[in-house]
Amino acid sequence: MAAIEAEELTRIFQVGGEEVRALDGLTVSLERGSLAAVVGPSGSGKSTLMALLGGLDTPSSGSVSVYDQKLNGMAPVDLAAYRRSTVGFVFQDFFLLSHLTAIENVEVPLKLAQVSRSERRDRANELIELVGLGHRGEHRPQQLSGGERQRVAIARALANRPKLLLADEPTGNLDEKTGMAITEILLNLNKDRDITVLLVTHNPELAKQTEIQFHLGGGKLQKTICS
């Protein structure tokens, strides 16, 4: 069964009167539980694809459906609910809320999902533990290293038990060794928790560890490699 089905996705931006086709008729699909990578040069539309799949942006044309939820034409409120419960985002820049501790950051999506206070604490602790930061839960982002921040971000992405994890260059800002550790976590999540993982990467080593690699270029799918 398909986790992602995107057909003829096109996303056009208007930049100073000119059209930029960030995505240009891209069609991809991905089975549930799979681990896939999106690779391609900078500006090839990788982030745009992730935004469309995650319901952060809407395509100019084409359709997206994730776990049988058709995103096209979804009301903003439902789209928010979709982002809250079906997908989890991991970004290159972590994007943690700097005024909150690690635990509190993980609690934010739970708050938005109206999970009770005590359950929130429990789940956040559990997730912080899972990403190997049990001892740093009360620390704020600026007291954490890059790798640790990304672990917090992953824990946050997992808070509402998403079915699909979208990671846009999760190791892009990390040194090789730290990046490997983060990769490890993502791979394990896919394996142990049956979460579909789609990650954008420039790192061929990382890409090789995935089952499928989508090669993007100029907003189009150049090739799909299954390993």
Partner 1 sequence: MNLLRTSLIRDLLTDVFLNLFRKRMRALLTMTGVIIGSFLVVLIFSLSNGLSVFLDQQIRAVWDENMIKVRLEKGGAPEKMAKGMFGGLGEPPQEVTEENKEEIPGAFEFRHIPHESIQKLKNIDGVQEVQPEIWVMPRSMQVVGDDRQFDAIVRPWIMAGPDMLAYGQDFSTSAARECIVSEAYLVALGYSNPTQLLGQTLKIRIQEDAYIAMAGGGQMDLKFLDKLRDVAYLFQNPPEDPELTMISAFIMLRDLANSSEIKALTTEPGAAKVFEAKVVGISKKGLLTNMIYLPPDLIAEMGRVFLRNPDMYTKGKDGKFGIEGLVRVSDPKEIPRIKREIKKLGMKSTTLEDVVGFIHGLFGALSAILTVFVMIAGVVAFFSIVNTLFMAVSERKREIGVLQAIGATRGYVAAMFAAEAGAIGLMGGLIGYLLGTVLCIVGNIYAAQGLPYIPGGNWGNILGVSDLFVTPWWVLPLMILATAFVGAFAGVLPAKRAAQLDPAEALRYE
77 binds, among ligand ADP, Mg ion, partner 1, none (CB under 5 to 8 A by kind): partner 1
Site for partner 1 contains 74 (CB under 8 A): no
Rounded to an integer, what distance in angstroms lies between the CA atom of residue 109 and that of residue 115? Answer: 9
Least distance from C-beta 56 to partner 1, angstroms? 5
Site for partner 1 contains 51 (CB under 8 A): yes
Site for Mg ion contains 47 (CB under 5 A): yes
84 binds, among ligand ADP, partner 1, Mg ion, none (CB under 5 to 8 A by kind): partner 1
Q: What radius of gyration, in Å, describes the C-alpha atoms of the chain?
A: 17
Dihedral angle computed from the Cα positions of residues 213, 176, 134 and 198, in that order, rounded to the nearest 10 degrees: -10
The structure tokens listed for 30 are: 């991905």
Q: Mark out the alpha helices in 66-224 (DSSP H runs).
A: 76-85, 102-112, 117-130, 146-158, 176-193, 204-208
Rounded to an integer, what distance in angstroms lies between the CA atom of residue 185 and that of residue 14? Answer: 38
76 binds, among ligand ADP, partner 1, Mg ion, none (CB under 5 to 8 A by kind): partner 1
Identify the residue among 160, 183, 201, 203 touching partner 1 (CB under 8 A): 160
Site for Mg ion contains 171 (CB under 5 A): no
Identify the residue among 26, 36, 37, 48 touching ligand ADP (CB under 6 A): 48
Q: Contact at 8 Å (CB) between 86 and 38?
A: no
Rounded to an integer, what distance in angstroms lies between the CA atom of residue 104 and that of residue 137? Answer: 8
Site for partner 1 contains 1 (CB under 8 A): no
Contacts with ligand ADP, residue ranges (CB under 6 A): 13, 15, 20, 22, 40, 42-48
Contacts with Mg ion, residue ranges (CB under 5 A): 47
